[in-house]
Structure 1
Amino acid sequence: MSARGGIIPEPIARQPWEMLIPLFMLVAFGAAVLFSAAGGSMDPFASSHLIRFSVFLVMAAVIASFPRELVRFMTYPAYIAVLLMLVGVEAMGALRGGSQRWLDLGFMVLQPSELMKPVIVVTLAQFYSTLPVGLISSWRAIVLPGAMIAVPMALVLLQPDLGTSLAIAFGGAVVMLLAGLPLRWFIAGGTAAVAAAPLIFFFGLQEYQQRRVLTMFNPEEDALGAGYHITQSKIAIGSGGLFGKGFNNGSQSHLQYLPEPHTDFVFATMAEEWGLVGGLFVLAVFSIILRWGLRVARESRDRFASLLAAGMVATIFFYIAVNLLMVMGMAPVVGIPLPFMSHGGSSMMTNMICIGALMMVNRWNRNAPRGGLSG
């Protein structure tokens, strides 16, 4: 024991409770919403949600104990392994709901595209931490990292899974931006993307994906068809008012008007019963977690750790932003669940890997000698 921890054992006292306590509150609140989504029952959603969180919390604690040298040594092998799993999905992946995204390993069913989200972040952090500063504005700084992002994106788009491919691109782009690549490259890339948008829409997207994009602009035009998800979600959120209809009293989810009330549209389920107050609580907790993650990135004393932490924060932020925009009808329905609240093992695994990585960098920061930023 130490003076810092008082009567609390040092291993417990040194944990980042300023992030963990809000995280526990959010997961518990999510379990309450899932309890209601199941009609007032812990099964099948709330109980498995809590079990998964407990299992992945242990996983995050294990990740947090990794030494820096091991992480850097395993980065490229991990990227290659996940890339091979994505190829394996195309060759022999399990087909579910019209999509081929999973590998049946016997003892578990794994979605490799979820693993690629944090793996691409740590891979690019490793690349840029070893790239000489003088080459940051040269072709070497963008060609290989661009390929590292583009190859898994293409494999994920074949599944097809637009939301996950965009998440991979977003996490990678944030690391590239923070690594110091010239801003003009990103402006040029954004301009090119806007110019290519019509071609991507007509020739790159599946027909159902095109309908999702068009429906976003006017869901009421086909309120019982392509616009049903967004329309019912907006009804649920709007009907909650300031304080909501009360716990376990949501009509949209209980009467099965709201599609996927336990996964993609869990925020709408929550907002109907807890109202604006509940929504603000969720946003406040997310802001606390993200702010802590950004502080971990800022306090990192080497380039690798700083880029790694910032990329993990960006990955969690992407989930949050896209899901909230989606349920409010401001983004296409792309199947991105809400972190720590939606029922689903893949998203929980990815976000807890990000949390574990942030705890790991936080431990590195705490143990690092005082000094300047290095590679």
Structure 2
Amino acid sequence: MPAGLVVIQPDLGSAAVLFGIWFGFLLVSGLPPRRVVVALLAFAIAGGFAWSNVLQEYHRERIMGLFYPERDALGVNYSMIQSKIAIGSGGFLGKGYGQGSQTQLGFLTEPATDFAFAALIEEWGLASGVVVLGAFLALIYGILKIGMAAEHNFEKFVCLGTALAFIAQFLLNAGSATGITPVVGVTFPFLSYGGSSLLTSFFLVALINAIQRRS
């Protein structure tokens, strides 16, 4: 229901994050496989309805752009193509701070938010991407470890939901930068510029810290 209401706004990025959280909980819920299949079929039907009646034309074009990356290179796929160029030109060690041509000359759209991961790799290289990925995985591991040690189910669910939210954001942001997922405007946790996003991320980490202190 929350994801459906967000899609109607329409905000495909936030809806995708909510779906990622729901899907993660569905996998660990212990439901019989038949019920899981029924839930996925219901989602597929709702998705088909949303495609025809809710999603805007530019949303559909972005999704179709995944299957036809060479289509409309100056339009719907422009951001994705420029992001790939930025990542590829960065090499292993990058071009240096402030030296990224795609980032500094304005070819890469929204380098501080939607494509922060691509901008990072262009200027600091693939090595920086590996470091960020390692730090992110350590964060997720720590959150899940705290959740497993928590005494109450509610605290366990908070930890799991937080981990799933961060994972969904990471996959959608990095996926947008590399052309694996549509460009949906989701920020990279703790890397993308954005007051509300950063504040929410720190709030979630504060909740996890409080749970750890209670355990």
| TM norm structure 1 | 0.54
Q: Quick check: 1:342 aligned with 2:192?
A: yes
Partner residue in 2 for 1:250: 100
- Give the letter aligned to residue 31 of structure 2: L
Bigger relative contact order, structure 1 or 2 (CA pairs below 8 A, ≥6 apart): 1
Post-superposition offset of 1:305 = 1.4
Do the aligned residues in 2 keep the contact of 1:223 with 1:231 (CA within 8 Å)?
yes
Partner residue in 2 for 1:91: none
In structure 1, distance between residues paired with 2:69 and 2:47? 21
Q: Quick check: 1:309 aligned with 2:186?
A: no
Do the aligned residues in 2 keep the contact of 1:178 with 1:307 (CA within 8 Å)?
no
Q: Quick check: 1:193 aligned with 2:9?
A: no
Partner residue in 2 for 1:360: 210
Q: Runs of 5+ in structure 1 lacking a partner?
A: 1-149, 366-375
Do the aligned residues in 1 keep the contact of 2:7 with 2:54 (CA within 8 Å)?
no
Post-superposition offset of 1:185 = 1.8
Partner residue in 2 for 1:161: 11
Deviations 1:309-364 (A, max 9, x none): 11111111111111111110010111101110111112112211221111111111
Partner residue in 2 for 1:237: 87
SS of corresponding position for 2:108: coil
SS of corresponding position for 1:342: coil
**In the superposition, relative to structure 1, how do residues 349 and 184 fare at CA in structure 2: closer, same or farther (>3 Å)?**
farther
Q: Quick check: 1:267 aligned with 2:117?
A: yes
Answer with 1 or 2: which has the greater Rg: 1
**In the superposition, relative to structure 1, how do residues 296 and 351 fare at CA in structure 2: closer, same or farther (>3 Å)?**
same
Q: Quick check: 1:203 aligned with 2:53?
A: yes
Post-superposition offset of 1:179 = 4.1
Do the aligned residues in 1 keep the contact of 2:109 with 2:115 (CA within 8 Å)?
yes
Do the aligned residues in 2 keep the contact of 1:219 with 1:226 (CA within 8 Å)?
no
Match of 1:330 among 155, 180, 202: 180
- Give the letter aligned to residue 180 of structure 1: G
Partner residue in 2 for 1:216: 66
Report the RMSD for the aligned CA atoms in angstroms. 1.7
SS of corresponding position for 1:187: helix
Match of 2:21 among 166, 171, 174: 171
Deviations 1:234-284 (A, max 9, x none): 000011111111122101011100000111001111111111111101101
Do the aligned residues in 2 keep the contact of 1:219 with 1:228 (CA within 8 Å)?
no
Do the aligned residues in 1 keep the contact of 2:146 with 2:208 (CA within 8 Å)?
yes
Do the aligned residues in 1 keep the contact of 2:82 with 2:107 (CA within 8 Å)?
yes
What is the percent sequence identity of the aligned residues?
37
Post-superposition offset of 1:155 = 2.9
Number of aligned residues: 215
Deviations 1:150-179 (A, max 9, x none): 0x3333223210111222233244335434
| TM norm structure 2 | 0.92
In structure 2, distance between residues paired with 1:361 and 1:200? 38
SS of corresponding position for 1:308: helix
Partner residue in 1 for 2:77: 227
- Give the letter aligned to residue 101 of structure 2: S
Post-superposition offset of 1:196 = 5.5
Post-superposition offset of 1:202 = 2.5
